[in-house]
């Protein structure tokens, strides 16, 4: 589709080029995105290109200015007018700082916004509103080694001690290679913030000053690949030539960063990637990009960029002896959807991602003709002193999801609660307990 001019008029500094098309500014970029390097290196620009194509722009290409980790994505109207979108990828924290000083229209973040940032940005509106906080993809932090390292799995406690510098040799971990060399992202990185939150801070540790720090994900991964004694952490698309190891958290099984385990957020080091759009934003391109990212076309770009899309699929689960009998039976006769419903911290309400996922799950159920007694919900929870209370709470969480599905015409087959069984994270930390409070969707 070409961009046809239906009307041209001046409106608050923007030129409207079509009744259906987005307005184009007379001067400067149409949209300024700042924040996460994980998003900004490839995913963000790819989503922007998809949006420009959807708008019918021509000659879409990327331009690289002199500043590292910055790009301009450029398209052209049928009349030859350039449309520029700027992407600066210097770390998640910089995105929120840019919103505050009005040098960005949209923040890209590979971690959830901090309370301090929410407070600092409250004049822009509530950035925790569902329309403001949008999960665009799921990523997994991979723990990477040199391919020659024979180590196959680690737990989060070992990881914390390694990156704090307390475990100094590979021999202490039952491997070989001598001294451990640490590689980490820089302080501005959402990848580092996530690792710090999920691994270091939870166990009262700090990153060793001996760690080599990188702004670029690619450079970090390549450095580990070249160092037989190296270990690092990285976003899933940037494993490249390195070797990822399986990770356990608390009583969970050790899990590799597989797509299915990251999609459900069961993998201990899974994380969400966000766009934060100020509710009072007057930039129509910001809202359009957030909407495009949630669309089937946008989620297809997420997948081709190496991240995990939120497109709902059914997957078979192989029963094993660690599962309760009722769960084994379910896995023999039904398939699990690649989504877990989780809840806002300290609340029985679905969190923002779960609200987005409801529409996707409903679409899957209706498209596949499973509205009549073909869906089972399975609730889980964190450890309680009274197992009966854990069982009850897990079933109540499943009932909360049931209400939403029934309201939209789904007749349930069954609702079950398995209490604190089959944890995916440790119950000794708030973050772990929140991950364990989940609802799975199974279809026959």
Annotation: CATH topology of 139-261: D-Maltodextrin-Binding Protein; domain 2 (3.40.190)
Check for a shared fold between 10-132+277-304 and 312-443: no
Q: For residue 14, is pLDDT > 70?
A: no
Print burial letters for 131-162: b (CB count within 10 Å at least 16), e (below 16). ebbbbbbbbbbbbbbbeebebeebbbbbbbbb
Integer distance in angstroms from the first to the last C-alpha of the chain?
41
Locus of tokens 């020659």:
148
Taking the C-alpha atoms of residue 7 and residue 288, their distance in angstroms, rounded to an integer, is 20
Q: What percent of the chain has pLDDT over 70?
A: 95
State the pLDDT at residue 10.
31
Taking the C-alpha atoms of residue 348 and residue 403, their distance in angstroms, rounded to an integer, is 13
- Domain 312-443 falls under CATH 2.60.40.10: no
pLDDT tens string 373-422:
999 999 998 888 888 888 899 999 999 999 999 999 999 999 999 999 99
Q: For residue 146, is pLDDT > 50?
A: yes
pLDDT tens string 240-271:
999 999 999 988 889 999 999 999 999 999 99
Q: For residue 3, is pLDDT > 80?
A: no
State the pLDDT at residue 377.
98
| CB atoms near residue 399 (< 10 Å) | 17
Distances (CA, A) of 313 to 306, 361, 374: 17, 9, 15
Q: Which of 241, 201, 207 is nearest to 222 (CA)?
A: 241
Residue 211 contacts residue 131 (beta carbons within 8 Å)? no
State the pLDDT at residue 5.
31
Question: If one looks up domain 10-132+277-304 in CATH, what number appears?
Answer: 3.40.190.10
Q: Which of 65, 85, 64 is nearest to 74 (CA)?
A: 85
Confidence of residue 20 (pLDDT cuts 50, 70, 90): low
pLDDT tens string 91-110:
999 999 999 999 999 999 99
pLDDT tens string 162-186:
999 999 999 999 999 999 999 999 9
State the pLDDT at residue 306.
87
pLDDT tens string 181-216:
999 999 988 899 889 988 998 889 999 999 999 999
Helix 296-304 vs helix 44-54: crossing angle, to nearest 10: 140
Q: For residue 74, is pLDDT > 90?
A: yes
Provide the residue ranges of all domains of the chain, joining segments of one domain with +. Answer: 10-132+277-304, 139-261, 312-443
Residue 147 contacts residue 199 (beta carbons within 8 Å)? no
Phi, psi of 218 (to 5 degrees): -60, -45
């Amino acid at each position: 589709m070409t961009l046809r001019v239906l009307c041209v008029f001046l409106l608050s500094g923007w030129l409207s080029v079509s009744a259906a098309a987005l307005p184009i500014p007379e001067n400067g970029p149409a949209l300024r995105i700042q924040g996460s390097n994980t998003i900004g290196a490839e995913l963000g620009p790819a989503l922007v290109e998809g949006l420009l194509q959807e708008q019918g722009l021509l000659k879409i290409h990327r331009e690289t200015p002199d500043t590292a980790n910055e790009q301009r994505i450029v398209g052209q109207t049928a009349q030859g007018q350039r449309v520029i979108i700027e992407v600066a990828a210097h770390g998640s924290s910089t995105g929120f700082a840019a919103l505050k000083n009005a040098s960005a229209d949209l923040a890209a973040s590979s971690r959830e916004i901090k309370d301090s940032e929410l407070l600092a940005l409250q004049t822009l509106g509530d950035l925790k509103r569902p329309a403001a906080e949008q999960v665009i993809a799921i990523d997994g932090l991979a723990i990477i080694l040199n391919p020659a390292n024979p180590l196959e799995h680690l737990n989060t406690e070992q990881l914390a001690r390694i990156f704090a510098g307390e475990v100094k040799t590979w021999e202490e971990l039952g491997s070989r290679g001598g001294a451990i060399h640490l590689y980490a992202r820089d302080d501005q990185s959402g990848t580092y913030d996530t690792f710090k939150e999920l691994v270091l801070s939870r166990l009262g540790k700090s990153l060793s000053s001996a760690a080599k720090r990188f702004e670029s994900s690619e450079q970090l991964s390549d450095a580990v690949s070249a160092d037989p004694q190296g270990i690092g952490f990285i976003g899933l698309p940037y494993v490249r030539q390195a070797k990822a190891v399986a990770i356990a958290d608390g009583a969970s099984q050790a899990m590799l960063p597989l797509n299915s385990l990251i999609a459900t957020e069961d993998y201990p080091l899974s994380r969400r990637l966000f766009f934060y759009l100020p509710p009072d934003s007057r930039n129509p391109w910001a809202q359009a990009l957030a909407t495009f990212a949630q669309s089937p076309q946008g989620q297809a770009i997420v997948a081709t960029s190496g991240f995990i899309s939120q497109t709902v699929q059914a997957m078979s689960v192989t029963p094993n002896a660690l599962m309760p009998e009722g769960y084994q039976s379910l896995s023999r006769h039904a398939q699990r959807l690649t989504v877990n419903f989780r809840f806002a911290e300290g609340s029985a309400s679905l969190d923002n991602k779960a609200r987005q996922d409801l529409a996707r799950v409903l679409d899957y159920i209706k498209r596949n003709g499973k509205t009549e007694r073909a869906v089972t919900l399975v609730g889980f929870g964190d450890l309680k002193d009274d197992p009966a209370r854990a069982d009850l709470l897990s079933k109540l969480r499943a009932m909360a999801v049931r209400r939403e599905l029934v309201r939209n015409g789904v007749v349930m087959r069954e609702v079950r609660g398995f209490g604190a069984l089959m944890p995916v994270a440790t119950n000794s930390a708030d973050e772990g307990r929140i991950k364990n409070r989940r609802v799975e969707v199974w279809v026959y």
